[in-house]
Chain A
Amino acid sequence: MDITRAKIRDLRRSLDSREIGAEELCAEYLKRIKEKDKKVLSFITVTENEALQSAKRAQKMIDEGKSSALTGIPLAIKDNICIDGVRTTCASRMLENFVPPYNATVIEKLNAEGYVLLGRASMDEFAMGGSTQTSAFAKTKNPYDLECVPGGSSGGSAAAVAASFAPAALGSDTGGSIRQPSSFCGVTGIKPTYGRVSRYGLVAFASSLDQIGPIANDAYDCAVLLNVICGHDRRDATSARRDVPDFTEKLGEPIKGLKIAMPKEFFSDDIDPVVRTHVTNAAKELEKRGAVLVDCSIPGLKYAIPAYYLIACAEAASNLSRFDGIKYGFRGEGRTYDELIRDSRSRGFGEEVKRRILLGNYALSSGYYDAYYKKALALKQEIIKEYNDIFDIADVILTPTAPTPAYKIGAQDNDPVKMYMADICTVTVNIAGLPGISTTCGYTDGGLPIGMSIIGRRFDEQTILQVANEWETGFVPLSPEL
């Protein structure tokens, strides 16, 4: 069976019609990973034995007529989502040998479906980065050009889907970490509304911004995965008590009359002309299919990067204070308690993580709190207001997902400011807690994918999936040569 860019719904049909067995399908993906992932490095851990065992259980479910959407479907899971008994490293030396004693809620939901875990996808260390080059274990490469980054922080998840090592994956998104790698790797990824998916068992980076979401070959498959992972969870106080609709329901409905806003700040000269051209052309195509394009403005974008980094790093400094080398994680050396903690943290964390902890503590420290952290919270309120104003006149917002296509590995090394500025197109969605989806809208002359993002009202994932699905109808994605 050809598994190249295979869709979940097609695999479902093949499994249910006995065209292929769950174990055989799992073995196909494992074989491809074994043969090709040496070049891409999308996995930190491949869980071959567990995969074959769960495939066997899945086949039993299928044989007994108990299959559901994801029974027997192989998936890659980002290495910051806890899986009971499976090493979960966050791509950090700090958690190199950490084996969680429990499952994240999303994993419990996938287990109930009988999914098959192929392995743990690489990522930037503690999800801090946009290139997957801060991973301590697998610095993932872009399947479309092995000299380029796959984006990040969910770069392993996006690269695994693009390279057909898995039909879909889970990632997490704090400032664009699902959408930007999806854009760089030519796949589709959605960050759900804050509160839509339980964060229980997701290793925390910035708790007010983090959200788990799917990466897949198209919007339809993202909807299939969302149907499974969404819903209230009593173990996450920020998970919302909202009904979970069938996210596939509106797919295929015409977009006639749908208003698409295009804030001018997202199309400024800071955006690479090739990206601007492709996203604008996609907007024109959607207009031809009946959508109405609306001009608008989001002035707060000017301050979005400092606002995001101040909030995210302040929360990260607090969240990562738990890593002291005592209860779990890398243990350093020291004659005293203080020496032990300092040595554990200094040797366990990588340079980017340490920089963000320092920045977070700077923003929260006495004398700077009002000038930085409280100002960032004021900006958050302003950005939420500006988005609300846009949604008074439009149904969705269209922007580039990243200012550039994937760049060469090493191009942003040793330049954190340049690296932070590259997040300009995605961070406001997290600040405002909105849902956003990235889908491929074209390719550069060199064959690198370009992504566009569709942003929706809070808890209106259905409409952004509808628009992404409409765009993908008729769009022919290119598969990378490996």
Chain B
Amino acid sequence: MAVELDTIKHLCELSKLNYDEDGLKKVMGEMSDIIDLMDEIKSFDLEYDDTKDGCEIRFCDTREDIAEESAPTDKLLSNTEPSNNCYVVPKVVE
């Protein structure tokens, strides 16, 4: 199934990715081939049964919701552009 340009543009919007015109054409071709491969799954005729989910792998062992000491703020901010213990981001509201 060939993926249409509008679909790719929509996916780029969802994914927050930019492509130039040539890049869009290239990725459209690649995604068409990939989705052809994914389409094989449509011939599998069983339906998902959510009542069975978690029977095989059951992990719901959440810890108590108690505030604990976290990593120091300066360490957490060391990977970004910090300013007065805040992240610096572009102006959002004009």
Contact = CB atoms under 8 A, between A and B. Distances in A.
Interface in B29-50: 30-31, 33-42, 44, 46-49
A263 interface: no
Given A337-B92, A342-B18, A378-B49, A358 B63 contact: no
Contacts of A97: 79
A306 B37 contact: yes
A336 B90 contact: yes
Nearest to A381: B52
Contacts of A357: 15, 17
A359 B18 contact: no
A324 B92 CA distance: 14
B2 to A, nearest CB: 14
A420 B33 CA distance: 11
A241 B61 contact: yes
A194 B54 CA distance: 13
A354 B24 CA distance: 12
A329 B59 contact: no
Question: How large, as a class, is the contact surface on chain A?
Answer: 35 or more
Question: How large, as a class, is the contact surface on chain B?
Answer: 35 or more
Interface string A397-415: 0000000000000000000
Interface in A312-328: 317, 321, 324, 326-328
A355 B19 CA distance: 12
B51 to A, nearest CB: 10
A417 B33 contact: yes
Contact of A337 (B17, B41, B52, B90): B90
Given A416-B34, A433-B56, A342 B17 contact: yes
A310 B78 contact: no
Contact of A240 (B8, B44, B56, B59): B59
Contact of B62 (A237, A309, A340, A342): A237
Interface of B: 7-8, 10-12, 14-19, 27, 30-31, 33-42, 44, 46-49, 52-53, 56-57, 59-63, 71-72, 75-76, 78-81, 87, 89-92
Interface of A: 97-99, 101-102, 194-195, 232, 234-235, 237-241, 302-303, 305-307, 309-310, 317, 321, 324, 326-329, 331, 334-343, 345-346, 349, 354-355, 357-359, 361-363, 365, 371-372, 374-379, 381-382, 384, 416-417, 420-421, 432-433, 458
Given A365-B10, A381-B53, 18 more contacts: A101-B79, A234-B63, A303-B44, A326-B89, A329-B79, A334-B90, A335-B90, A336-B90, A337-B90, A349-B17, A357-B17, A358-B15, A358-B27, A361-B14, A361-B15, A362-B31, A363-B38, A372-B38
